[in-house]
Amino acid sequence: MDARPQCVANPNRQLYALYLTRFAAGFGLMTLVTLLPVYINQFEASGLVLGLFVSAVTIAKTGAIVPLAWAGDRYDKRQVLLVGIGLGVVVYAAFALVASSLGFIGVRALQGVTLVATGLLSTALVGQLAPVDERANAIGKANAWRLAAGIVGALAAGQLYEYAGFSAVYTVVVTLMFAAVCAVTLFVDRDPTRVSGFPFSDLALNRRILTLTTFRAQYAFSVEVVRAWVPIYAGAAAATGGLAYGAVAVSLVVTAERAANMVVQPYAGRLSDRFGRALFVFAGGGAYGVIAFLVPFSPRIGDALALPAALSAVDAAGPAFVPAETIAAFGPAFLPLLVLSGLLGVTDAFREPASMALFADEGTSDGGVASSFGIRELVWRPGSVLGPMIAGVLTDYNMAYAFYFGGAFAITGAFAFLVVLWRSHGRSALSTW
């Protein structure tokens, strides 16, 4: 078994081809998120069918993780990635042609497979190609490209659909996916590593991965709930506990989180390479929980700061693309919510590249970097499924409870990680990992 990466030629050229892959996949994902209501209305989906419109991609992703991670370690990751991107070309072309609910659900399931292939294997290759002392920085850059695609995709898909329909939207997505195929084919070298057997079984008992799992399994509940409930809180009717903002305000709140995350991730990854990745996992995760607790207090914060009056007095303080009087018209809660959403992006940016680099470290040292990321994805799944369901029940009582629930899981996860880290690996592990 040769589990260690060999000397790579032109690593920057290869990394940028993989970053393009992350961008194309992220653009495709956000295109479907944006256009999903259009398909729901077009096919008049309801009940179980409506649920499958949303969950088909998640179910398929869960089922695809283990076989694709195994194939990536057993064979050439580059070839498996190319198959995944090629499938994406076909899938996004098919979205423009679907004519029934059943057809849409089937294509959504295939989308889940291509999302796992492009996300898991491109990240595994980035982690494998990057130097150990620059790994979190490289992964942070890859994530920044994905987040940028999410912002551009969300803004562009709706506009393109309004002007030219599905065909124009998916022409752009297919073109991006095809460009990724060309970039990986031309610039990414063949992967010489081969891992025999089933590396999941060994990595599942890896002490470092088990330690990281104490945090990640809990943190998944937090992120999946908070990320989903921030726009719900912003746009839901006041009678249900929301702020009743319109689409423009909600999109600004969502974009603030993604934009902050995108800008900070490469820098935070570089810092974690220098000062200790475990420290950034603990600090970023814990801070995320604290910010989540504050979200329901946005109206009180705005009232305490008298923000509409303050904004009217300092018009120039508003962002250039949103006049201060427009922000003031949203009410006192808007600016605090916008800032808190951005801070959620910042804190998660400190956590994510450090966490991914730690999983990459274990995969490259023990054999099976794709399987290491596969375990990382599987650990996330219970929280991604159960978290929103529990938060939905809590929202029936008070929407703020969803944020308290999410914030609590982030904080308990961070401190559980710290305790296990100190007891199993020593206090120095916080800065040496």
Which of 93, 94, 87, 78 is closest to 112 using CA atoms? 87
What pLDDT does 23 receive?
95
Give CB contacts under 8 A, 24+ apart, made by 380-385: 380/216, 380/217, 380/220, 381/62, 381/220, 382/217, 382/220, 383/217, 383/218, 383/219, 383/220, 383/221, 383/222, 383/223, 383/224, 383/409, 384/58, 384/220, 384/224, 385/58
Which of 40, 33, 73, 112 is closest to 381 using CA atoms? 112
> For 278-319, what is each residue's pLDDT tens digit?
899 999 999 999 999 999 999 999 888 876 645 544 454 444
What pLDDT does 311 receive?
52
What residues of the chain score a pLDDT lower than 50? 1-8, 309, 312-314, 316-321
pTM of the complete model beyond 0.85: no
CA pair distance 414, 212, nearest whole angstrom: 10
Q: CATH topology for 196-433?
A: Growth Hormone; Chain: A; (1.20.1250)
What are the residue ranges spanned by the domains of the chain?
A: 9-189, 196-433
Amino acid at 114: T
CATH tag for 9-189 (out of 3.10.20.30, 1.20.1250.20, 1.10.600.10, 2.40.40.20): 1.20.1250.20
Same-fold call for 9-189 versus 196-433: yes
> For 164-219, what is each residue's pLDDT tens digit?
888 888 999 999 999 999 999 999 998 777 776 666 666 767 788 888 889 999 99
Q: Directed axis angle between helix 369-395 and helix 47-74, to 10°?
A: 160
**In 10 A of CB 282, how many CB atoms?**
22
